[in-house]
Chain A
């Protein structure tokens, strides 16, 4: 088992579709993150969960809805997305959220919105 697993790896959706991205970590970490990665731009932190509670929400549009049912799983529910939402969505985990600990990333879900 790899440390952080994301599915699907690739997703194409229309602007009216509803889909979900899934992330699972097998490292026993207490914090999980969603990042957006666009070409030639810095990583954008979207959401942070610590012990299954959301601790960060960086002004992300409501068309992105996170869910953390337990400390090992994280979802990002997508609905009525825009073409500019096309990007690589990276999930990460760390021991805790409040200290400069190493992040362990998944390989990402490449999202294309038509």
Chain B
């Protein structure tokens, strides 16, 4: 079956760096998305990776290894406003999104 695994919850300190991992098993692969969802708000797009490697976008970077079925989201210089859930979703061969359950990130002062 198709599956996405990501940690349920992580805690980090303001100003630090945190890496949120995501592993996937899908029938075919057409890329991987990361979304951010603050409590009570809409999920918003962070990144899309389809090729291996690291893509940097300001304080946030996303990495993909297709051979390992693995991605991570790297958040630098953490701010309190980064407290949110981070959703990983892989695109299968039918262009269906396979979602993880999300990682709740708690930032402490």
Residues of A within 8 A of B (CB): 4, 40-43, 45, 90, 97-100, 102-108
Contacts and interface: CB of A to CB of B under 8 A. Distances in A.
Given A42-B98, A107-B40, 4 more contacts: A90-B43, A100-B91, A100-B95, A105-B43
Nearest to B46: A102
A102 B48 contact: yes
Contact of A42 (B31, B41, B50, B100): B100
B63 to A, nearest CB: 18
A40 B99 CA distance: 12
Interface of B: 4, 8, 30-31, 33, 35, 40-45, 48, 50, 87, 89, 91, 95-102
B38 to A, nearest CB: 10
A93 B33 CA distance: 15
B87 to A, nearest CB: 7
A99 B95 contact: yes
Contacts of A43: 87, 89, 97, 99
The 3 closest A-B pairs by CB, nearest first: A42-B99, A105-B42, A100-B91
Contacts of A102: 33, 45, 48
A90 B48 CA distance: 21
A43 B33 CA distance: 13
Contacts of B102: 40, 42
Given A40-B8, A43-B87, A100-B31, A106 B97 contact: no
Given A98-B95, A106-B42, A42 B101 contact: yes
A107 B87 contact: no
A97 B95 CA distance: 8
B101 A107 contact: no
Contacts of A106: 42
A42 B45 contact: no
